[in-house]
Structure 1
């Protein structure tokens, strides 16, 4: 829907260019796109037509959500297996790219890391596979009902499961059985889905459910459950009880390495040290080019272990966002 009150200046230009870089990296956008002006890029994303933006532009790249209260993510960590007592409770407004980062950082904060030795290094993994959780969140943001002002995406972590919920329903004629048996992709919000695909957030059309199932099978936890009541859709991931939020027991990888910290996180600690660094600066110092790899395996685990903190925790995509060591992180850094 066209929104005549929405201006290009209301959008996060850095987020737009980040999406472009993702599209170029994946080969879904031509390299020349990086040199185009913002208006041209928005037109190619079908977010701008005859000089007017649509609401999908705000959902994807907005900065101010006063008029978009439904751009909301609810995050809760409950004690036990019921909603009787909160351990953590947050509500964050933001665009899809912001909220996806917030969601994944929340998982690293409240789900335990476990690992196995692969060669000289230990491969760390969340209680529920990162790719499965991320895909479920992407689906929730992509396919939810945005026309309801009071709606949102919700993440609830219990001692035995994670539930990811979004407002909305399945497409017409789509049932859970059809969903699980393989189906043609039917995005509820085609423009949003197309931008997420072009920017490499959506890996491919119609394969998300299979990816979630295969990832859970790979690590030996139950396959995810899919539910709907006509007003909302939610996914349930079960895992071994009493593993949530515990400090991982880690076998030392190399001499002098900290026995409770994965080597990738150690790298983040030594890179930041006494400095305050942006994501790009850390990647350059570590020698990484793949931002997704850096976020998944380096930065998010460091934040989840309470060793690194953002300067602007309520706005992950803040134009001046940088990271520093927490007091806990400083203590470990001094031991190295």
Structure 2
């Protein structure tokens, strides 16, 4: 975007309400201007104009060789390297110019920092970015390299894993046609093929899927289960805390749900048939999703399942994928798992599909049972 004439400058000034324009009277405010430019890079892009007052009056400024050098040095202090378009719009009958710094939406390269510090916009103000927000952007950018499930654990050994569960995964994968029949029974080789071990070193995903958690320090592999009397958390009827690998937690969750969900009976046939008041497929899909797509990086995080007289609530730590919301999740969408290694192993075992159908399945099953759709 070239901003080399006053007409373009005036159009930008008129758009100040959008929050992507910042005015500075001179490059004497270059530092503050660069902090704002960094904030624009961490947002949706924007423009900083030098030679314009806070009220939007164009006054221009002198541009010397030193001004240009100072600008170049300041731009070089942005990390990572950013594409900054610098334009000069001359004022009529004057040596003065309006200097414009413009950056486009640079989402794939966020977070940016200036002089080692990241900035963000809050309404029309520039402020230092909190560490948590910076880490979230960093994970979005470098997620494939620094995902928690990929991190190696050199203290983890094959003896810490349930080999029978590994072989069961292979057997079920072969039976459903998702693994070749020659996959074999060599556990280290299987773990390498699943991406759970590299050069003999196991990663966190291996512990989540197959760990013997009584011998390991993974506090986040916790499942909280509760049956409350009534419709709030005042009175417990049953409460459990289960530590274990993915399959242990899934089995424990389903057993608890079967124990406490009310049954309805029909006698359309010679034998009485009993059905859960919430369809099995819907509730199981909810539990599987909560364990698969959660964030595991926080040691204090866990999955919780609470059964009330009128509903079941399943909660887990984490977020939707970037730019997704509940409405997108409920519509037709692609599969974008937060933990691809976990999801891949579960797909092989036919615990999970890979087409983003889980939310739709829960909605469909509830509608068929005459129940409201799940709320998110």
Which of residues 102, 108, 114 is equivalent to 2:258? 108
Aligned length: 225
Q: Does 1:9 align with 2:152?
A: no
Q: Does 1:44 align with 2:193?
A: yes
Structure 2: how far apart are the matches of 1:115 and 1:208? 27
| Deviation beyond 6 Å, 4+ runs, structure 1 | none
Structure 2: how far apart are the matches of 1:60 and 1:118? 42
Q: Does 1:54 align with 2:203?
A: yes
**How many Å apart are 1:67 and its aligned residue?**
1.1
Instruction: Please tell me whether the aligned partners of residues 169 and 349 of structure 2 are also in contact (alpha carbons under 8 angstroms).
Output: yes
**How many Å apart are 1:120 and its aligned residue?**
4.4
**How many Å apart are 1:64 and its aligned residue?**
2.4
**How many Å apart are 1:204 and its aligned residue?**
3.9
**How many Å apart are 1:12 and its aligned residue?**
0.5
Question: Per-residue CA shift, 1:246-283, capped at 9, x if unaligned?
Answer: xxxxxxxxxxxxxxxxxxxxxxxxxxxxxxxxxxxxxx
Alignment correspondent of 2:226: 76
Question: Per-residue CA shift, 1:203-256, capped at 9, x if unaligned?
Answer: 343100011011101111111111xxxxxxxxxxxxxxxxxxxxxxxxxxxxxx
Structure 2: how far apart are the matches of 1:211 and 1:128? 13
**Structure 2: 5+ residue runs without aligned partners?**
1-150
Partner secondary structure for residue 240 of structure 2: strand
Q: Does 1:205 align with 2:205?
A: no
Alignment of 1:229-248 (within 5 A): none
Partner secondary structure for residue 213 of structure 2: coil
Instruction: Please tell me whether the aligned partners of residues 176 and 350 of structure 2 are also in contact (alpha carbons under 8 angstroms).
Output: yes
Alignment correspondent of 1:151: 301
Structure 2: how far apart are the matches of 1:204 and 1:218? 23
Structure 1: how far apart are the matches of 2:170 and 2:345? 10
> Which fold has the larger relative contact order, with Cα–Cα distance below 8 Å and residues 6 or more apart in sequence?
1
Which of residues 217, 238, 248 is equivalent to 1:67? 217
**Structure 1: 5+ residue runs without aligned partners?**
227-336
Alignment of 1:1-336 (within 5 A): 1-33=151-183, 35-65=184-214, 66-117=216-267, 119-226=269-376
Partner secondary structure for residue 156 of structure 1: strand
TM-score by length of 1: 0.65
Structure 2: how far apart are the matches of 1:120 and 1:46? 51
Q: Using a 3 Å threshold, how does the CA distance of structure 1 residues 106 and 136 change in structure 2: closer, same or farther? A: same
**How many Å apart are 1:40 and its aligned residue?**
1.1
Alignment RMSD, CA only?
1.3
Structure 1: how far apart are the matches of 2:268 and 2:356? 32
Larger radius of gyration: 2
